[in-house]
Amino acid sequence: MKLVADNLNIINPVIRNALETLDPEPIREMVTRCEIAGADAIDINTGPLSRAPIEKMTFLVETVQSVSTLPILIDTTNPKAMEAGLQANKNISIINGFSLEPQKLKTILPLAKKYKSDIIGYLLYPDSSVPQDASERFDLAIQIHKAIHDHGIEDHQLIIDPIIVPLSWQDGIRQAPEIVNFIRILPDLLGFPVKTIAGLSNLTSGYGNMKKKLRMESAYLPMLAAAGLDMALLNMFHRETIEVAKACVPLIRPGVFSWEEL
């Protein structure tokens, strides 16, 4: 299970200000800290990036690569920014991502073929609503799989995001084990070892008590890992969660165990 840092996010005022002023230092510092903490990849979340999308995304990708060779997840809803990021990236890039929303099928999905990039498919309905259970997720996964084939994209390029929902939602506590079951069964459903990613921070979104947030993250992450989750998108500065994540890796990976890994 790979750990993807979600710290480089436009909602962080430090990152937002650095992007507005094109100041590379706060971004370099953030990326370096994430890599030291054990990140295997960096998610660059800019949101829609409506103003100067090409300039800003190019700046971000080049700044990240000035201090790191880790794979980059380009996380934006702006197709111009997405393509600029793919063009600027010299290492491994992952498109984050697309759904069955018509505009994303038209503008984001084709970029995976053009740039031979892996792409994350969100299990959301075309109106961006969230599926209610594993059965609905399976149906959406089949539609996502068909969509990539229709665009000439290979199976190995697909990464499925089942969409973790907050526990505070009315059905949040029911959804959590549904997602675990979905991840476990998905490869058999699609008939190939499809990769999966999940945004762990979504689980406790909207809740303010950090101690309890970390406790729930630390409890849920091993369940996802045991189900076969390939990539966990999470805050690399949540030390307790990261320690649990690192402990999961040797337990689910074949081979000789070594205490040096922890």
How does pLDDT run across 176-204, given as a tens digit for each residue?
A: 999 999 999 999 999 999 999 999 999 99
CB atoms within 10 A of CB 161: 20
**Average pLDDT for the chain:** 95
Question: For a pLDDT cut of 70, what percent of the chain falls above it?
Answer: 99
CB-CB contact of 94 with 72 (8 Å): yes
Torsion of CA 259, 7, 129, 179, to 10 degrees: 0
In this structure, what token pair is assigned to residue 197? 């990613």
Q: What's the pLDDT score for residue 249?
A: 82
CB-CB contact of 244 with 222 (8 Å): yes
Backbone angles phi and psi of 92, in degrees to 5 = -75, 135
Q: What's the pLDDT score for residue 255?
A: 75
Which of the four pLDDT bands, split at 50, 70 and 90, describes residue 261?
low
| pLDDT above 80 (res 262) | no
| pLDDT above 80 (res 259) | no
In this structure, what token pair is assigned to residue 228? 């076969």
Backbone angles phi and psi of 247, in degrees to 5 = -70, -30
Arithmetic mean of pLDDT, 96-121? 97
Arithmetic mean of pLDDT, 215-234? 96
Question: For a pLDDT cut of 90, what percent of the chain falls above it?
Answer: 88
Q: Is CATH 3.20.20.70 correct for 2-261?
A: no
How many DSSP H helices and E strands does the chain contain?
10, 8
Q: Cis ω on the peptide bond leading into residue 97 (within 30° of 0)?
A: yes
- Alpha carbons 214 and 203: distance in angstroms, whole number: 10
| pLDDT above 70 (res 215) | yes
Arithmetic mean of pLDDT, 211-229? 95
Exposure string for 177-200, b = 16+ CB within 10 A, e = fewer: ebbbebbbebeeebeeebbbbbbb
Arithmetic mean of pLDDT, 243-262? 80
